[in-house]
């Protein structure tokens, strides 16, 4: 179905850019967004759809960086 909507210029520009980036049409993106909004309580929680950031143990600090001489010693060791 065709319809007419009034969309803010800045939002329309972002929509054009996103559609081009994804290689799809603006209509497809708008329809997908409306479907998510209209899904109501069935909508996916954004925090559940994000991939968790990686974590790692970088070990303890080797030197107090405010101690310039100690910092230079550690830098020369490597």
pLDDT, one tens digit per residue, over 52-66 is 778 888 888 878 888
CA gyration radius for the chain? Answer: 25
Range of the structural domain that residue 22 is part of: 8-43
Are 19 and 26 in contact by the 8 Å Cβ rule? The answer is yes
Is 18 within a domain? Answer: yes
pLDDT at 57: 82
**pLDDT confidence of residue 49:** 64
Say if 3 falls within a structural domain: no
How many domains does the chain contain in total?
A: 1
For residue 17, being part of any structural domain is answered with yes
- For residues 42 and 36, give the distance between their C-alpha atoms in angstroms, rounded to a whole number: 9
**Segment 37-53, tens digit of pLDDT:** 888 755 555 555 667 77
Decide if 29 is inside a domain: yes
Residue 28 covered by a domain: yes
Q: What is the pLDDT of residues 12-24, one digit of tens each?
A: 999 999 999 999 9
Q: With respect to residue 20, please indicate whether it lies within any of the assigned structural domains.
A: yes
The confidence score (pLDDT) of residue 38 equals 85
pTM: predicted TM-score of the whole model, two decimal places: 0.49
Let me know if residue 21 belongs to a domain: yes
- CA–CA distance from 5 to each of 8, 9, 26, 68, 76 (Å)? 10, 12, 13, 63, 65
């Amino acid at each position: 179905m065709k319809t007419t909507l009034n969309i803010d210029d800045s939002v329309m520009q972002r929509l054009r850019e996103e559609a081009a980036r994804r290689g799809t049409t603006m209509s497809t993106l708008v329809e997908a967004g409306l479907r998510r909004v209209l899904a109501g309580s069935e909508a996916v929680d954004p925090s559940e759809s994000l991939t968790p950031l990686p974590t790692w143990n970088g070990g303890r600090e080797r030197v107090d960086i405010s101690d310039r001489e100690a910092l230079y010693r550690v830098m020369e060791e490597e």
